[in-house]
Amino acid sequence: MSDPISDAERLATAQVALNRRGDVLRDLGRVFADNGHELYLVGGPVRDALLGRFDPDKNDLDFTTDARPEQMQRVLRGWGDALWDTGIEFGTLGVGKGEDRLEITTFRADTYDKVSRNPEVRFGDNLADDLVRRDFTVNAMAVRVTADGPTEFLDPLDGLSALRDGVLDTPAAPEVSFGDDPLRMLRAARFVSQLGFTVAPRVRRALEEMSSQLSRITAERVAAELDKLLLGADPVAGLDLMVDTGLGEVVLPEVGAMRMAIDEHHQHKDVYQHSLTVLRQAMDLEGADGPDLVLRWAALLHDIGKPATRRHEPDGGVSFHHHEVVGAKMTRKRMRELKYSKQMISDVSQLVYLHLRFHGYGDGRWTDSAVRRYVTDAGPLLTRLHKLVRADCTTRNKRRAARLQANYDDLERRIQDLAAREDLARVRPDIDGNEIMKILGIPPGPQVGQAWNHLKELRLDRGPLDHDEAVEELVRWWNERGGPRV
């Protein structure tokens, strides 16, 4: 994707963008210059400024310097409001100044042990050695920072040309770069999603040949990159790169497994492409609230149970009975292995489990009880479930698509009507646990929970009961169970 903007225009635009942080840049540049040290802005802020996507309120500022860690501490102790030295062994010091959080790292010339991704830290003597060890040339550009703020643009590895062409290439041979740190392979897919770039041919070859080395990376770091990929502007492009090169087989094999073979006798949708379409359509429904990571994960994984449940029927059709149940279990397993939080795992797997429920709605044939259960089972995920179900309509049959959307419009209207009459957001029994114990004359224990659940089921089936009716139903249930007569 060659960009028509000239390099001179791009550099001028970047200068204007970075000058929006001119106060902190000039102040920090003066401190380092006064102490005889060089300071450079590097990495993402420089790249984003050149791309016209620099956000002064969101972009972190990363710097590199010839000052050693102990020298940085002396220089910054009187300047910053706070210092963080958690990365000091790697030459990185965090500094807070007002609302700014800055990260400054001594020039590095690391080597890696080739087993883990931990570097054998060696400090470098010049900017060029530091830049050549970075992941991609578009992230290996720098801007000199002095008392005058951002001044000279430095690009020894021609990252600007790669940025102009929208290509990800490595400063060193990709085999060396990815061998040093395999996480960079997943970062390539992430940048494809975030920036709309493609990968250089030699980078793609290295990804295909070295994808298995991703197993060296911790689950937490993999999950962080996958989240950033999914939250990008074009996650489908990043996912395609992962699946096509074998990276997905290492970190998210269930997604690639949806590319099931289709033969001439058993026609059905390609589940992988369908899932990517659902992801795109779910993104279109996010609205002003911005990217929704839970919704995007659910859209991607909603059909991962299909390969395991696929059956060829005698009539030539294909079925996937209970794929939502199997898919929810697979989702929980994969997300646990990636060390996601319990809440994240619960939310995504529940959406996968519920995504097919609506298709039993037909033409509005659900009872009010069924509508209540749909809302109750979705709980706080209901809005996301609405979006997921609508996004899951990918049929090319316009009449069928219109009917599905009309049916869901009808379901949402029924939910609103019931909610106007009942507290659907918090369906609870009409009698609480304390009153249950008082009416039945029983102490706290499992029987109270059983009685509570019985009353909740009645509430779901029949809607709100008045107090006397609820007491009558509770007593009837208790006596039918053979408890002491009430």
In a domain, 188, yes or no: no
Nearest CA-CA partner of 242 in 231, 254, 233: 254
- Kindly state whether residues 348 and 386 are assigned to the same domain: yes
Q: Which residue has the tokens 């009409």?
A: 430
- Note the pLDDT of residue 58: 75
- Kindly state whether residues 344 and 450 are assigned to the same domain: no
- Kindly state whether residues 18 and 97 are assigned to the same domain: yes
Query: Under a CB-based contact definition with an 8 Å cutoff, are residues 61 and 103 in contact?
Result: yes
End-to-end distance of the chain based on CA atoms, in angstroms? 79
In a domain, 177, yes or no: no
- Kindly state whether residues 55 and 71 are assigned to the same domain: yes
Nearest CA-CA partner of 451 in 468, 470, 425, 426: 470
- Kindly state whether residues 411 and 438 are assigned to the same domain: no
- Kindly state whether residues 316 and 357 are assigned to the same domain: yes
Q: What is the mean pLDDT of the chain?
A: 89
Query: Under a CB-based contact definition with an 8 Å cutoff, are residues 204 and 233 in contact?
Result: no
Query: Under a CB-based contact definition with an 8 Å cutoff, are residues 48 and 88 in contact?
Result: no
Residue 483 to residue 434: CA distance in whole angstroms: 18
Q: Are strands 142-146 and 119-120 parallel, antiparallel or unpaired?
A: unpaired
Kindly indicate the confidence band of residue 333, based on its pLDDT and cuts at 50, 70 and 90. very high
pTM over 0.75: yes
Domain ends where: 165, 186, 208? 165
Domain ends where: 389, 412, 427? 427
- Kindly state whether residues 54 and 126 are assigned to the same domain: yes
- Kindly state whether residues 344 and 296 are assigned to the same domain: yes
Per-residue pLDDT tens digits for 191-235:
999 999 999 999 999 999 999 999 999 999 999 999 999 999 999
144: left (phi over 0), alpha (psi -120 to 50) or beta: beta
In a domain, 69, yes or no: yes
Per-residue pLDDT tens digits for 425-453:
666 777 788 888 888 888 898 888 888 88
Which residue segment(s) compose the domain that 41 sits in?
7-165
Helices 44-51 & 7-19, crossing angle to 10 degrees?
Answer: 120
- Kindly state whether residues 384 and 301 are assigned to the same domain: yes
- Note the pLDDT of residue 316: 67
- Report the pLDDT averaged over residues 339-361: 94
Q: Find the farthest-apart pair of alpha carbons in the chain and give their distance in angstroms, rounded.
A: 90
Judged against a pLDDT cut of 80, whether residue 96 lies above it is answered with yes
- Kindly state whether residues 61 and 71 are assigned to the same domain: yes
In a domain, 280, yes or no: no
- Kindly state whether residues 396 and 291 are assigned to the same domain: yes
Per-residue pLDDT tens digits for 235-264:
999 999 999 999 999 999 999 999 874 443
Domain ends where: 406, 427, 448? 427
CATH number of the domain bearing residue 153: 3.30.460.10
Measured CA distances, 172 to 169, 188, 198, 260, 390 (Å): 9, 15, 18, 37, 46
| Count of domains forming the chain | 3
- Kindly state whether residues 340 and 432 are assigned to the same domain: no
In the chain, pLDDT over 90 holds for what percent of residues?
Answer: 62
